[in-house]
Amino acid sequence: MNLSMLKPGERGTITKIGALGPLKRRLMDMGVLVGEDVKVEKVAPLGDPIEVTIKHYNLSLRKKEAEGISVEVAK
């Protein structure tokens, strides 16, 4: 399961960041870390990008960027 598959309102915990290089570093700089809780808030009107909350703030990223972030969905 990866972050791009979550529906608005669903939460999960990050288990792995598969991205590489600058993308990975940028994600980590923004607080997207393994073990972090993440919630998908919205999907943009045209279907991409998505908005998530992480570390109590709102972050938007493209689905393609979210694909590399593995999550375990919270029940």
Partner 1 sequence: MSAESISEVMRDPVRPAAASLSEEKRTITVAVAGNPNSGKSTLINAIAGTRLHVGNWPGVTVEKKEALFEYEVKLIKLVDLPGTYSLSPYTQEEIITRDYLVHEMPDVIIDVMDATNLERNLYLTVQLLELDIPVIMALNMYDEAEKKGYTIDSNMMEEMLGVKIVPTIATRKAGLHDLLKAVVKLVDDPSSHHPKKLNYGEDIESAVSAVEKQLKDSYPSLAEKYPLRWLAFKFMEEDEHVQSELKISGDVLLIEDAVRHLKKAHEEDMESIMADARYAQAAGLTREVLKRPELRKTDLTEKIDRIALNRFLGIPLFLAAMWFMFKLTFDVSKPLGDWMNALTFGPFKRWAEALVGLIHAPAWMSSLVTDGVIAGVGSVLVFVPVIFAMMFFITFLEGSGYMARAAFVMDRAMHSIGLHGKSFIPMLLGFGCNVPAIYATRTLENQRDKALTALLIPLMSCGARLPVYVVFIGAFFPAYAGTVLWSLYVMGIALAIVMGLIFKRTLFKGEAPMFIMELPPYRLPSFKSLMIHTWEKGKHFLIKAGTYILAVSILVWFLLNLPWGVESKKDSYLGQVGQVVAPVLKPLGFGSWEAASSLMAGVIAKEIVVGTMGEIYVKKTGEEQSAVKPAFTADLIEIGTSFTTALRNSAENVFSTFGISSLSTKEDEKRSGLKSVLRTTFTPLSAYAFIVFVLLYMPCVVVAIAMRQEFGTWKWFGISFAYQMALAWLMAFVIYQGGTLLGIGG
Distances (CA, A) of 73 to 26, 28, 41, 43: 23, 20, 14, 17
Q: How far apart are CA 17 and CA 28, in angstroms?
A: 9
Q: Which is nearer to partner 1, 6 or 27 (CB)?
A: 27
* Residues between 12 and 71 with contacts to partner 1, criterion CB under 8 A: 17, 22-31, 33-34, 42-49, 51, 55-62, 65
Q: Which is nearer to partner 1, 11 or 24 (CB)?
A: 24
Q: Which is nearer to partner 1, 25 or 72 (CB)?
A: 25
- Which residues does residue 38 pair with via DSSP β-bridges, in sequence order? 12, 54
- What residues line the site for partner 1 (CB under 8 A)? 17, 22-31, 33-34, 42-49, 51, 55-62, 65
